[in-house]
Amino acid sequence: MAPSTAGSHKGWDKEGGRDQVLSTRTSMNAFDISSTTARKIKQRAFRLLRMGRYVENMADGIQILRYELGQAYISHEDYFPANQSEDYNWNPEKGGAN
């Protein structure tokens, strides 16, 4: 597990980006991409969402968060502006998403 990080347009460098550790992120996190449990969770999500046959490369890893005593989720904003990349439509008003 590692400290939770945030991505924002201010944190990106010319190589494509870097993570920033912010004081508003108090948790530790990791991604489980290969365990039997993670695969079962992803397969169940496919069924619940009626996405058809489970395809591994269509699924993200399962994000695992750990909060220690005294830590908590603190509301925060980290985002990508609508014009972040010409390769992707980030603007939800025009059908995009982040």
pLDDT grade, residue 92 (50/70/90)? Answer: confident
Give the model confidence (pLDDT) of 6-35 as tens digits.
655 454 455 444 566 666 677 888 899 999
Burial class, 84, CB count within 10 angstroms (exposed 0-12 / middle 13-18 / buried 19+): middle
Q: Is the CB of residue 24 less than 8 Å from the CB of residue 5?
A: no
Contact predicate 2/30, CB 8 Å: yes
Q: Name the pTM for this structure.
A: 0.56
Residue 79 in contact with residue 6, Cβ under 8 Å? no
What pLDDT, in 10s, does the model give residues 36-81?
Answer: 999 999 999 999 999 999 999 999 899 998 888 888 887 766 666 6
pLDDT attached to residue 94: 76
Please provide the distance, in angstroms rounded to a whole number, between the alpha carbons at the two ends of the chain.
25
Return the domain boundaries, the chain: 1-27+67-98, 33-62
